[in-house]
Structure 1
Amino acid sequence: MEFLNLPKLFASTFYAIPDYQRDYEWTNVQNMTLLDDVFSLFDASEGNHFFGAIVTIPYEESNGTNKSINFSDYNITDIKNIKHVVDGQQRLTSFSILAKAICDLIEEKFKNDSSFVKAQSRKLDSIYFSIYSKGYDLAPSLILNDNTGYCYNHEILKIASEEYSKKPKGAKRILGAYNLFKTEIPLRYAEMYGEDFSKERKFYENLVETLLNKVTMVEISCDASSNAFQVFDSLNGKGLDLTAADRIKNILMSWAPKEKRSQIWVNFEKKVGEGHLAGFFVSYFFYTKKKRISKNKLPDEFKNEYNSSTKDFDDFVKQLYEYGEIYGKLRRCETNNKNLNTVLESIKKLNMEQVYVMLFAAILKYGSTVISLKEFVDYSKTLIKLVVRMQVCEKSMNRLDSHFSTWISKMEESEIAIKDITSRIANDIKQIVPDENFKQSFAQFAPADNKVSEYYLIQIEEFLRRTINKDRNPVNLEGLSVEHIIPQEYSIPRWYENDVVPPELEETFAENVVENIGNKALIYGDDNSAANNYNYEKKLYIYKNGKKGQTQGIPCNTFVLIKQLVEDYPEKFIHEQVSERAKKLAEIAVQIW
């Protein structure tokens, strides 16, 4: 197995996305993390960084009907040079967009230095272009599908003229990634050098070399689809976090007495949880260093921690176990505080890894007994408000690192109480994500994950119960489900009858209307099944009367959200009502979060 840098990876291969693969889905969050990792390698003294494996199979014509280029246009006749990507599409796409964004920035900033521009462009071209046959146009090394591919070829590579739309999610993500990289890279320069532009040329030169030579991946080529999917399942079951964790394991084992080696890591892994090992070390070193340590640097930081410690090996491991057990309980929602566990379950549903940095930092500062206090629960709830606003507004969580550093430094002040840190965070939230921005984004919020939708709807439902019905009883979660009012298996004629779907909504109707938060409510499973994919009139009957024989209460008498839906929209519910209802929910959301 050979570690390949990006030019070598793309040297003799076209990577095509098969028809059955999902679209490009990385948001600013993942792309900001990618950029952070690249800049962590920027220092010339740093080594390479492994960005994971891609899994490929030979190109299959039957699974390549939606490709965005015609091979004959580029005289690509040897199918052996084309591979279908089973795993790794998101990374390959983001790296190609990043390379092109760097190239475009160089062309814009150094337009009066044509030799420098040509030299750097020639290097970067090797990532996203392939010259297959002399005399033919440049072909994209990465062949994306359908509208996303047409948008990529036209807007990013600027080599095509096929018609496409910027409105579907894949195209939006492509353009969002490109704009993010073009915006962020100059900001990184400003952070490093301020207004001293004398180092700009060297900065971009180093950035190109970093991308070309320090980013490495492994390609796993499989002969048959079945083998590829077995490899895919294995890789995704393990998770990329284990790369850093395995290195730390080897370091710890090298220090341990022979008779203790077999159990030391096994016991530690049980306490933390296998999937949370890298997260533990990131959180721990964030607290001690007041900044995020990139995963590729965690093993070296671990060495430094031990070498600078006054503890002998046994005491060092004992403390590691203590911290690991605390962190593991946070991740498993198994603390001795039931109210805290409820909050931790919410964090788990939202899948917000970054929150654990601040949760763990408070425990390390104030001691493990702080977990049992109401003040710690309030602190945790405030952190949820922060990440909710970031999630809804699609802001990169990595942008919080500077705030985390400030808040953790504040904790270090000897007399400051955790409630004061909570107040500081609460005040800062309104500056980080202002109310108006949050409301506007919430009205457009369209989470495809039902667990995420369920979390938001439960919080809104319980808020309405407290404020309208003065009912403080939580929603009964048993048998609860998310109801799509316009069903996921929708029929436009059934729903619109004499109304018309605006043309600009047709392509994105499922993503932006059906999945919009304004189209969702809570309902129990038997009523959800009864409502099924019927038209709105039949659904209203179920909302008002429930399923015959159901045992959990009539929907409009059980859920405030359903009651309001029935009252506010007694006749029809199409995209206009979805938008109107989403704005009403946004007004409630800004009060909750």
Structure 2
Amino acid sequence: MDVQPDNQSVDKLFSGTVYHIDFYQRDYKWTDVPVKRLLDDLFYPFSKTYQDNVALDPSKETIVAKYPWYYLNTYVTNTIEGRVFVVDGQQRLTTLTLILIKLKHLAQKFDSPTCNWVSQKILGYSGMDKEFWMNHINHVVTLESLFEDDSDLSQIPDNSGITAKNMVKNYKVISSYLDKQLDNKHQFETFVFFYLLRLVIINLSVEQTDVPMVFEVINDRGVKLKPYEILKGKLLGQIDKIELDKNDFNGLWERQIRKVNTFAEDEIDNFFRYYLKAKFTSTRAQGQAFDGDYHREMFSSNMNDKLNLEHNSSNVKTFLNNDFRYFSELYAKVWKASETFDTSLPEVFHNKLNDLDSQFHLILAACAVDDPLEVDKIRAVANELDRLFTLSQLQSGYDSNRFAVEIAIIANKLTTADISEYRDIFDASLLKLLSDQLADHVSEPFRYTLFKNASVANLNKRFTRYFFSRVENFVANAMKQKMRHGLEDLVRKTGPVNGFHVEHIISRNDENLVLFNGDEELFETERNRLGGILLLKGRDNISSNNEVFSQKLKTYGNSLYWNETLREDCYKSKLDFTSYISKHELPFSHYSQFGPDELEARHQLLFEISKLIWT
């Protein structure tokens, strides 16, 4: 490896070399914290020395003789066909440029002869064209605007991306800071000499073939990047620069990254983990290897036999054009459907209500590149996952660790399965979960003997609300009515006023305790069964808490449709509903009293509804 170090002042750094932003580099993401730290570090030695030498005129000789040098760290470049690319250090170099732009405006303010000198450190001219030494080609409009006029920063265009926005934000910090520190011409000009001549930065120039390794080592030693940012360097670093530009591989990468990261910060790292688990593992234990530094694992000897991306530019290009392009797009589509209810992909939204992110793993496993059955597979997989989770919960068969183990097994099977096989694949895991958890052989996916004891005492509140939101949706559809409250509101809203809470139909009072022969334990067990539970909105829930059933019925009117089915007037003049329940032989009934028999009937009705929803 050939590394060529070169000590430079800022004057030398920006004196004719155009620095192109390498694809390895992130956007300009420095916040005000590192910017202020850099300014503080610069002014500490300058201010102290200036006080001792305030009588001296600013000049190159004075500065070199009296002022200490300050080390600005290193930056790494590599040169391809005469173009110099910044591999590491663009955050610092961009900030230095922003400081120079502010110094240029201060020079104009103080009518200082240093203005031309400072301006030449920001950009150069060739004919009628000018070019910034820090060549943020996609954000040049922002740089030009700052360079020309900083009198109204609110008018500086910053719509070209996060780099532009951060340039403007940090320029405001720099401008305010320098205005306070440099309040007279003498001090200003002295600082210009100090800034350009006494700040030392070391350039490390490396060969193209060594860039990925150098980049990762730098990252390990403190310049922390996200795994996907390191992966970008490892992949794109293998492609010839000309071909990289010609086929816009960097553009492809950035577009897909933005699509996925739109949903959550650095979500693309989760995408890669799910993708690798979906395509290259068959067990949960194997998948856990990607939970950490997946970008390293991708280039392990074991994974290189499968991915073959190490020193293989041809495979890298194929990977980017096919798997990365398609599956990142698919991932973004699933994310979007999970965030906002989509009538074409409702099952995805249902899983999100239960935070079942494992649907990403399973859907990526089921689909192939440019899969013609993509939508069908998304719906089928999401539906089966919802069913697996719900039926295991309702039958006391859910255990988070066992569930995660089965997800990995299912994903492995889905990679080669036909859609017609999905139900059998998921049912095999469901039966195993039930059998293992109950320590008994279970041969049917959904049995009343297992559902009989489904109780809010054993289910978490989120799932309980989810279960009744789906029941509510079922009843609304049977009535051909629009839901009064959306699924997400029923599941996620929990506030005291507008939130939905569990309502026990059988209140805790002496009258109801008698219905259970005064048996306190039996009373509590039975009233907690799902057949004795409703969802009520905040204050309705409070007001009906200890009422007798006849009074509760009044509260249930105009609440949720499922609640209203306890009332006689629910069935009057509702031909669509009565026709539907007759067709499916659903034992709906209204009640004037509610005790053990009514609770059991209601629980059995929920079982029949659940069969229609989930089986």
Q: Which has the higher contact order (CA 8 A, sep 6+)?
A: 1
Asked if TM exceeds 0.5, the reply is no
Q: Work out which of the two has the higher radius of gyration on C-alpha atoms and give 1 or 2.
A: 2
TM bracket, shorter-chain basis: 0.3 to 0.5
> When the two structures are superposed, what TM-score results if normalisation uses the length of structure 1?
0.44
